[in-house]
């Protein structure tokens, strides 16, 4: 048990070191900055999601190999265990599917109008962001990642309750604000990371110079 706890702490320390490069914040910022365009042009959503999921993580890994790993080294962590099909997971999926069916039906009979949905999208996003917040807290051991979920939820509901904002502006205000905040934070962290950690000379480099 102690060995398992020690290994967990080592993995969290390694993940915290890796998180200093700012790439996670930059990825989140880009997603939120592009989201209003995806709402207006649904045809681009599939292309962007495919690129974001399939190619962008690989691009980040290439950048890390060039700028991050030479500075802090590279440690291969344990492979994450596959998701187990637990009763809680099944119930959650069932509730999400049921909620989706109810929502589609409510829209079809004009019980819920699209303007109402658009206004509450920021609040929905805020609640959804608790998932990555909990994930990052578990991976790093830092409670501060709960703050992101809390702030995004609070601001999401705050924007939704702001009556003077037109419906078509609500999503843009929320996503562009958070997108800019995440992106700037990521750039700052990346700059501080590069400045804090100089490139580590490898033994091969020393040998080649002789």
Global pTM reads 0.70
How far is Cα 173 from Cα 164, in angstroms, rounded to an integer? Answer: 12
With b meaning 16 or more CB within 10 Å and e meaning fewer, what string describes 24-58?
bbbbbbbbbbbbbebbeeeeeeeebeeeeeeebee
Closest CA to 163 of 115, 125, 126: 115
Closest CA to 63 of 202, 205, 176, 193: 193
pLDDT digits (tens, 9 = 90+) for 146-164: 898 899 989 989 988 887 8
pLDDT digits (tens, 9 = 90+) for 65-89: 877 777 776 655 555 555 454 555 5
Phi and psi, residue 2, nearest 5°:
-65, -40
CA atoms within 13 A on the CB side of 93: 6
Residue range 98-122: mean pLDDT, rounded: 66
Predicted confidence at residue 78, as pLDDT, reads 55
What residue has token string 């080294």? 73
Q: Hey, what are 161's tokens?
A: 């309750």
Sign of the C-alpha dihedral, residues 69, 64, 138, 141?
A: positive
């Amino acid at each position: 048990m102690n060995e398992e706890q020690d290994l967990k702490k080592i993995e969290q320390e390694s993940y915290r070191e890796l998180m200093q490069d700012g790439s996670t914040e930059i990825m989140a910022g880009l997603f939120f900055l592009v989201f209003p365009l995806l709402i207006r042009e649904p045809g681009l959503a599939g292309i962007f999601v495919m690129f974001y999921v399939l190619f962008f993580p690989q691009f980040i890994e290439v950048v890390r190999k060039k700028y991050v790993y030479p500075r802090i080294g590279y440690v291969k962590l344990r492979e994450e265990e596959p998701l187990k099909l637990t009763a809680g997971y099944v119930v959650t999926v069932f509730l999400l599917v049921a909620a989706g069916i109810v929502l589609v039906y409510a829209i079809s009979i004009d019980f819920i109008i699209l303007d109402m949905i658009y206004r509450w999208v920021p609040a929905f996003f805020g609640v959804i962001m608790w998932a990555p917040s909990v994930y990052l807290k578990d991976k790093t051991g830092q409670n501060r990642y709960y703050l992101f979920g809390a702030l995004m939820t609070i601001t999401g509901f705050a924007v939704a309750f702001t009556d003077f904002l037109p419906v078509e502006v609500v999503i843009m205000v929320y996503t562009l604000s958070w997108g800019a905040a995440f992106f700037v934070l990521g750039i700052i962290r990346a700059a501080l990371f590069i400045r804090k950690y100089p490139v580590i000379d490898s033994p091969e480099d020393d040998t080649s110079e002789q």
